[in-house]
Structure 1
Amino acid sequence: MAIVNATDQTFVTETSTGVTLVDFWAPWCGPCRMIAPVLEEVDQEMGDKVKIVKVNVDENQETASKYGVMSIPTLLVFKDGNVVDKTVGFQPKEALVQLLQQHV
């Protein structure tokens, strides 16, 4: 499954069913750029079980504010539309896979 870019308008639809990992990021954020290829690897490994959604905080401030995103990258795990887990900052692939496997 491909990584999806969500907006304030599409966020609820993108996270409403199944397990979704949401990456709150910005283009100017170094750790956000570092985690992007890691998310691609996680998507290749777990794409049939987990959806990955990216939200640019500069362009979608309403959603970032709603979920209290203060630092980026912030990664939220949603299950059927509800936040079930959270991590902030760069995470290695193994840590993300372990985090997601708790919810699939």
Structure 2
Amino acid sequence: MKPITDSTLISEVQGAKLPIVIKFEAKWCQPCKAMAPVLLDIEKEYGDRVQFYTANVEHCMLITQRYHISQIPALIVIENGLVTSKRLGSGSKQEIVQWMVQSIPSLRNDR
């Protein structure tokens, strides 16, 4: 997962040819740490169809405010520059993949 910052958000989102999933986390957040290997596994499977980023809420305050993140871990999907879905809390690989497939129409053709 590639880190995203307040200063790189605009260029990454505007230049995206694929849907984007951003994970909001903090180093001290245990559920965030537990979710990291799950998301890395999902990224291996879907990385050619979705761009994955991570944002540390302590360092990315503008992104956190822009997308109204009030709880971590949190995931958002951005397509064509717009947030199309948000998920709060951790989850299993199956739950997160199901959410992604529901949130990203281009992934539905693969199932």
What TM-score do you get using the length of structure 2 for normalisation?
0.86
User: What residue is the counterpart of 2:42 in the other structure?
Assistant: 42
Q: What is the correspondence of 1:1-104 to structure 2 with a 5 Å cutoff?
A: 3-16=1-14, 17=16, 18-102=18-102, 103=104, 104=106
Alpha-carbon separation, structure 2, partners of 1:27 and 1:63: 17
Give CA deviations for 1:21-51 in whole Å, capped at 9, x if unaligned.
1001000001100110011000011010011
Percent identity for Structure 1 against Structure 2: 32
Larger radius of gyration: 2
> CA RMSD, aligned part only?
1.0
Output the TM-score relative to the length of structure 1: 0.92
Identify the structure with the greater helix proportion.
2
Structure 2 regions of 5+ residues with no counterpart? 107-111
Number of residues of Structure 1 aligned to a counterpart in Structure 2: 102
Q: Which is richer in strand?
A: 1
**RCO higher in 1 or 2 (8 Å CA, sep ≥ 6)?**
1
User: Is the contact made by 1:14 and 1:53 (CA closer than 8 Å) also made in structure 2?
Assistant: no
